[in-house]
C-alpha cells in the first residue's frame, strides 16, 4: 500500500476541484455497490461477498469524511484519518469474527452469484482506482482514500478467486479463506493509516506559523 512521503509539507492535501469531483463520483459508485453486494451476499450466503460489501461501505464513509475535512488544519485532517483507520480496524475484526463463526456452519455459498457480483464489483473498483490514481500520494487524509480504493480492487479479485474455488471444490473453505485474508488487509490498512496520521499529528506545531 505504499510508503508515506517523507516531507508532509510537500504532500497533496486535497485542495483541488478536480479531486473533489472525482471523490463525489467514487462515493456514489461505492454506495450503490454496497447495497448491491450486501444483498447478493445474503442471497448467496457468502462471507467473502459480505466482507467486500462492507469494504464498499467503509470506502463511501471514508471518502465522505475526506471531503468534509479538505482545507482544514493538518491536525484535523490527521485526526479524521485516525477515525477512518479505526473504522477499518473494526471492520477487519468483525470480518475475522464472522468468518470464524461461519466455519461452524455447513452451508456452501453460491459460486455463480459470487462470481457474477464479484466481476461487477471489480469493474466499479477499477473505475474508482483509475479516477483516484493520480492522487494516491498525499497526507494521511488523502492517502487513506487511496488505500481503501486499492483494498476494493484487491478484494474483488479475491472474491472471484473464492467463487472459482467454491465451484471447483463444492466447499465453503475457499470463501472463508478469502474472507480471512480480506480481514487481514483491513487491519494492515488501518495500521498504515494510524502510523502516518500519528506522525502528522506530531508535526502540527511546525505548521502553526503558516496558519495551516
pLDDT, one tens digit per residue, over 154-188 is 777 776 777 777 777 777 777 677 777 777 777 88
Q: Quick check: 200 pLDDT over 80?
A: no
Q: For cell 471489480, what's the residue?
A: 122
CA distance 200 to 11: 11
The Cα 52–Cα 48 span in angstroms is: 6
Question: Exposed, middle or buried: residue 179 (CB in 10 Å: 0-12, 13-18, 19+)?
Answer: buried
Instruction: Grade residue 207 by pLDDT with cuts at 50, 70 and 90.
Output: very low
Domain ranges across the chain: 16-207
Which residue stretches of 45-110 are H helix?
Answer: 47-69, 74-102
Q: How confident is the model at residue 142 (pLDDT cuts 50, 70, 90)?
A: confident
Rounded-to-integer distance, Cα 132 and Cα 4, Å:
17
For the chain, what percentages of helix, strand and coil (3-state, to nearest 5) are there?
A: 85, 0, 15
pTM for this prediction: 0.61
Confidence class for position 25, pLDDT limits 50, 70, 90: very high
pLDDT of amino acid 107: 54
| CB-CB contact of 197 with 87 (8 Å) | no
pLDDT at 152: 72
Q: How high does pLDDT run on average in the chain?
A: 74
**Domain topology for 16-207:** Alpha-lytic protease prodomain-like (1.20.1510)
* H or E stretch covering 23: helix 17-44
Whole-number pLDDT of residue 63: 84
Residue whose grid cell is 481503501: 148
Q: By C-alpha distance, which of 19, 96, 102 is closest to 63?
A: 19
Higher pLDDT, 95 or 131: 131
Amino acid at each position: 500500500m505504499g510508503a508515506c512521503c517523507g516531507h508532509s509539507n510537500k504532500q497533496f492535501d486535497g485542495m483541488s476541484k478536480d479531486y473533489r469531483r472525482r471523490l463525489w463520483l467514487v462515493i456514489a459508485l461505492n454506495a450503490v455497490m454496497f447495497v448491491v453486494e450486501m444483498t447478493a451476499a445474503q442471497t448467496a450466503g457468502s462471507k467473502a461477498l459480505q466482507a467486500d460489501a462492507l469494504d464498499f461501505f467503509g470506502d463511501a464513509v471514508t471518502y465522505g469524511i475526506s471531503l468534509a475535512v479538505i482545507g482544514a488544519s493538518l491536525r484535523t485532517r490527521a485526526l479524521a484519518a485516525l477515525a477512518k483507520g479505526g473504522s477499518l480496524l473494526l471492520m477487519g475484526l468483525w470480518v475475522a469474527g464472522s468468518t470464524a463463526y461461519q466455519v461452524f456452519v455447513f452451508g456452501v455459498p453460491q459460486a455463480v452469484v459470487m462470481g457474477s457480483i464479484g466481476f461487477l464489483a471489480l469493474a466499479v473498483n477499477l473505475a474508482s482506482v483509475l479516477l483516484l490514481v493520480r492522487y494516491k500520494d498525499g497526507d494521511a487524509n488523502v492517502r487513506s482514500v487511496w488505500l481503501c480504493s486499492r483494498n476494493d480492487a484487491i478484494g474483488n479479485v479475491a472474491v472471484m478467486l473464492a467463487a472459482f474455488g467454491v465451484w471447483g471444490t463444492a466447499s465453503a473453505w475457499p470463501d472463508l479463506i478469502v474472507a480471512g485474508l480480506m480481514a487481514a488487509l483491513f487491519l494492515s490498512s488501518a495500521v498504515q493509516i494510524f502510523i502516518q496520521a500519528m506522525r502528522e499529528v506530531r508535526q502540527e506545531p511546525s505548521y502553526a506559523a503558516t496558519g495551516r
